Structure formats: structure tokens, C-alpha cells
Structure 1
């Protein structure tokens, strides 16, 4: 059996993805220029993480 993991370890990555999503949305709504690029990156990371998880899960 696997060793039990703490809540911090289990929810660390999902919490980071949530912060990136919220931060990206706020940045996108508050400015133009370099903020648009930062918003695209911040909102793209969760999408890439889901794609990676789906690809590795199917193997």
C-alpha cells in the first residue's frame, strides 16, 4: 500500500493551478501590453497541465 500523504502535498499542485488561473484572469482584465502576454501564459499553464495529465493517464 502507498504511504498516506498529507493534505499540503496532495493539494499543492491544484492550489498552484488555481492561483495561476485567478491571477491570469485578473491580469487579463486589468491591463494591456505585457499583461496580455502574462495572462496568456498564466491561463495556458493549467490547460497544458490537464493535457499532460490526460496523455499520461491513457498510457
Structure 2
């Protein structure tokens, strides 16, 4: 996955980032800085993109 690719995020994570980005822009941050802060916040909260639903073996 190329750096900056947001396809592995859930719709909820994308919406959260969008809301954070908007509020950062209202505080006077640039577009680029607001986006960086928004995705960093989502990553910190959720640990990154979608989590796999695979099962662990009991070995």
C-alpha cells in the first residue's frame, strides 16, 4: 500500500478524520497541516486502518 493511501480505513475512521480536519481548519491551520493532524489523531485512537477479523490458532 503506498504511503498516504486511505483505502484501508473504515468509513467511520474517514468521517472522524474529516471532522477533525474541519475543526483544525477553523482554528487557523493550513489544509495540509489540518489533514496531517486529523489522520495522526485517528491513527493514535484506532492504531491505523481496518483490523483483520482473522482467527488465531490455538497452537
Q: Same fold (TM over 0.5)?
A: no
TM-score if structure 1 supplies the norm length? Answer: 0.37
Question: Which has more radius of gyration?
Answer: 1
**Bigger helix share:** 1
TM-score if structure 2 supplies the norm length? Answer: 0.37
